[in-house]
Structure 1
Amino acid sequence: MSTLSGGDNRCKHGDTICEIRVYEQEVIVVPILLLASFLVTLVFILLLRYCPEKVDRIRPQASKSTSRRVLHGIDAPPGINVLEHESIALDIPSSYSTFQPPYTYLTKTLSTTGATPSVTPSVTPSPPPQPYKPSYTQSYTPVVQPRELPRQRLPESFNLVTPMPGAFSLRSDTSVSLYRARMENRNVVLRVLNDSADATERHSFLGFASFLAQLGPHPFLPELLGVVSLRAPLVTVVEELENRDLLSFLWRCRQDNVDPPCEMTERRIFTMAKQVVHALEFLHSKDLLHGNIRARSVLVSNHFTAKLWGLHGVYTRKNKGATQKVDPSMKKWQAPELLVKKPATQSSDIWSFGVLLYEMTTLGDAPFAEISINELLQFHQRGKSLKKPSNCSNTLHALIKSCCQWKDQDRPSLAEVSRKLVSGEKGASDKLLKASGPVNIEQYLQEAGYGEANSYTVF
């Protein structure tokens, strides 16, 4: 009351300006502060609603590690390579029941910058190739929680989401749906786990994403761009290669006036084969066998760059060893030792690579088309091999025959194959390869050894 009375005494009755000066704090400062607080709160709420990624960048980080980067989600800034020289496993707090890696999942420690070096197992030298035996550490690789996409549902997270049609109508993996989408101004493929998937399928889905992250970047392997693992639907985001898989690309090359253009020459065969060999050497350097080398396991970009895919079998063998389901549709591509249930070696991949060269030369013919699955082993035992295609040069046919030798020790190493590809590319022809007519899908399935339960699913 003293203040009010003092103000009344200092100001004449009706002098408003004088009263405002006296009560400046109560009349001006406090209301302005309240209004400013309200506006800041309102702006923050609007950012949370419409631009959550900006809020994530503003928030202070609880802790920063100098030895490794955190695996960012699919909203990572373009300048950060989230897979650069890192040994990364995906995980989230145990409160989220859909991703708790099984106790049987043992990951191999990779030698990475800033990470603990891996222990190189001792190998006893021996003239014949040793069966492939993956070595695993007896402890888990340290896990890093990825930064998740803040939006709630798939259609709100990506642009132009459309289903990706399969090349064949048959599908075996009913738990995963494929979509094309736009993300950060590029085309991507979304592997989306269906809501009906059980716990085992969820573990396998996210475990495969973890495996791709740990595998690391390679110019001739499709790039993993991010994951959504903290909420449904679970999504793995992989770069899209516009020409899709090599087999359908080869089939399009049989047609005239296709869009986009599809042209295959012998020189391009050598170039793309070199790229596949580089990717295969990368896997073998990590003690990983591919086990599924064929045209449908290779993806092709719009610049005709070949990238090796079909890596889910690599992940399965890494975690389950030799115990895995036998794929009957792979027998026409398998080395003889695998047909008699012997352990796979690196030379088994080289045999399959020779069959891949045959597919490329014939523009997607089924290998050993005239031989049934039951007679295939006897066919190999008699020393017979793939027929020389009409489009095939002597140099390319000699490389196919050397890769498909009955004895695994007679097959060339990947380094030798790479040298032959480089040499053959220099003198290769630029003449377009031709094939007689389009492929009859039903006939191809029969000749390639596909059963009714098998499908042609790239991703």
Structure 2
Amino acid sequence: MESEPRPASRSLLGCSSGDNLCIVREYEYEVIIVPVFMIFVFFIILGLILWLRYRNHKEMEEINDGKDSSRGIQRPNTSEHIALREATVEGVLSCKDPYLETFEIPRDRITGDLQKIRTGTFGPIYKAQLLPKESEKQQTIVIAALRDSPSARDTQLFLDRIRFHAKLGKHPNIVDMLGCCTDQLPIYLIMENVSEGDLLNFLWTCRRDVMAMDKIPFDITEKQIFSVAIQVVNGLEYLHQKKLLHGDVAARNVLIHHDFTAKISGLSIASDIYNRSMILMHHKIPLKWQAPEHLMKKPVTEKSDIWSLGILMYEMVTLGAPPYPDIPPRQILQFLQRGHRIKRPPTCGTTLYNIMKSCWEWRETDRPTYPDLKKRLEAGKKNANDKIVLQVPEEVVPELYAQVAGLEESFLMDNFTIL
């Protein structure tokens, strides 16, 4: 049986039928041109993708700027900032935002000895008295002062923080700026005094009172937890309406009044976003309060604050216990990736715990919105117990708390959460 003839191979003109090198040369243009063409197409596509991302980024900045302006808080003009490498402190002060003049308080209205209470981000924190105007009463104030011998950069950052508070506006659940002294050094940011200080230490005080079996000056009930949570939601919603994030929602960053009025403080991240459209690297946010996307170094959103709000509710219902007490801070992400969450504390009712769990959904889109949270918290408040006082007899040891919570002990003792 005869085999079918093999098809003749193409060959270059002048090549003999057995010259393989000559036949290979026939394809050398295809071997070179095709890869070059594919590389060329790849770079065109890559350039197009980068251009589209840049254009979308610029459009979002313009949209956000427009929204911020319509809501009464405008981004600062970065051209107003002087080159800090060449600046002096006096130069920075001379170039400050003229808008701050409307908030200037004469230094002679600050009376009495400055009582140092803690050390803040930029310098000492004092309590003092503010002499009244004609129609006012003398009041206790908190003064955040810029440290002695500041650099030009520190001075600019502190002025930026003052400007942020000045332009943020007033809200009943956000710590209020009363004024400033920026005419000369030392620069002062003057804030309202919130009588009971930060919520975390307030919760610890309640533990000590219960343990001592003395007369309890502050009785925390389940209903009051719902009330404080609603107020924090209101304050966070106000920030997010202005396209700002808090970034570190926790009991240590909430101030509490004797009438259980809650005021959000610790707004340094929101100030960074307002002044620079970015979060500076110096913020040390404890891992146990961070949402999964934050732990994975992904962009944070308002839903990241909602996750942390669930941790804040846990802090309240346990009178200041550290979250995930049995899990080392560095293992939190792995713990959450396996679907685990904080177990329901013995002092926590089912309704409150279900709200907390809804804040801890892995997917951001599955977490509740602020209107949804307020609706559920209001409903829970109506049915919450207002008679039984929460009791956790174990006294908190700050050193042990700091270790379990993943905080530096000095952060608990030496910071003041207004800044």
Q: Under TM normalisation by the shorter chain, which class is it? A: 0.7 to 0.9
The aligned runs of 1:203-352 (5 Å cut-off) are 203-256=156-209, 261-325=217-281, 327-352=283-308
* Aligned amino acid, residue 281 of structure 1: E
Aligned to 2:406: 449
Query: Residue 117 of structure 2 contacts residue 127 of structure 2 at CA under 8 Å; is this kept in 1?
Result: no
Quote the sequence identity (%): 36
Aligned to 1:390: 346
Aligned to 1:368: 324
Query: Residue 359 of structure 1 contacts residue 365 of structure 1 at CA under 8 Å; is this kept in 2?
Result: yes
CA distance in 1, matches of 2:120, 2:104: 29
CA distance in 2, matches of 1:355, 1:314: 20
Query: Residue 180 of structure 1 contacts residue 190 of structure 1 at CA under 8 Å; is this kept in 2?
Result: yes
Distance 1:458 1:420, change over 3 A: same
The 3-state SS of whatever aligns with 1:270 is helix
The aligned runs of 1:57-76 (5 Å cut-off) are none
Query: Residue 89 of structure 1 contacts residue 143 of structure 1 at CA under 8 Å; is this kept in 2?
Result: no
The 3-state SS of whatever aligns with 2:117 is coil
Aligned to 2:24: none
Output the aligned Cα RMSD. Answer: 2.9
CA distance in 2, matches of 1:352, 1:95: 38
Query: Residue 354 of structure 1 contacts residue 400 of structure 1 at CA under 8 Å; is this kept in 2?
Result: yes
Deviations 1:242-296 (CA, angstroms, capped at 9, x unpaired): 0000001101111227799222111000011111100111011111111110001
Q: How far off its partner does 1:457 sit? A: 2.7
CA distance in 1, matches of 2:407, 2:195: 26
CA distance in 1, matches of 2:343, 2:148: 47
The aligned runs of 1:113-128 (5 Å cut-off) are none
Unaligned runs of 5+ in 1: 1-84, 103-140
Distance 1:87 1:343, change over 3 A: closer
The 3-state SS of whatever aligns with 2:333 is helix
TM-score (norm 2): 0.72
Query: Residue 172 of structure 1 contacts residue 454 of structure 1 at CA under 8 Å; is this kept in 2?
Result: no
Q: How far off its partner does 1:363 sit? A: 0.3
Deviations 1:32-66 (CA, angstroms, capped at 9, x unpaired): xxxxxxxxxxxxxxxxxxxxxxxxxxxxxxxxxxx
CA distance in 1, matches of 2:115, 2:390: 32
* Aligned amino acid, residue 126 of structure 2: Y
Q: How far off its partner does 1:364 sit? A: 0.2
Aligned to 1:458: 417
Q: How far off its partner does 1:99 sit? A: 2.5
Aligned to 2:128: 181
CA distance in 1, matches of 2:244, 2:90: 31
Aligned to 2:376: 420
**2:148 maps to 1:195:** yes
Distance 1:209 1:172, change over 3 A: closer
**2:390 maps to 1:433:** yes
CA distance in 1, matches of 2:323, 2:151: 37
Query: Residue 125 of structure 2 contacts residue 144 of structure 2 at CA under 8 Å; is this kept in 1?
Result: yes
State how many pairs are aligned.
329
Deviates more, 1:341-350 or 1:258-267: 258-267
CA distance in 1, matches of 2:336, 2:92: 46
TM-score (norm 1): 0.66
The aligned runs of 1:64-143 (5 Å cut-off) are 96-99=90-93, 143=99
* Aligned amino acid, residue 257 of structure 2: S
CA distance in 2, matches of 1:202, 1:260: 44
Query: Residue 254 of structure 1 contacts residue 436 of structure 1 at CA under 8 Å; is this kept in 2?
Result: yes
Question: Which of 159, 165, 168 does residue 117 from structure 2 map onto?
Answer: 165
Distance 1:161 1:458, change over 3 A: farther
* Aligned amino acid, residue 110 of structure 2: F
CA distance in 2, matches of 1:402, 1:242: 32
The 3-state SS of whatever aligns with 1:304 is coil
Distance 1:287 1:259, change over 3 A: farther
Deviations 1:417-449 (CA, angstroms, capped at 9, x unpaired): 000110000000121000122101000000111
Deviates more, 1:233-242 or 1:446-455: 446-455
The 3-state SS of whatever aligns with 1:255 is helix
Deviations 1:153-178 (CA, angstroms, capped at 9, x unpaired): xxx54223343434xxxx673x3111
Unaligned runs of 5+ in 2: 1-71, 82-87, 133-137
The 3-state SS of whatever aligns with 2:393 is coil
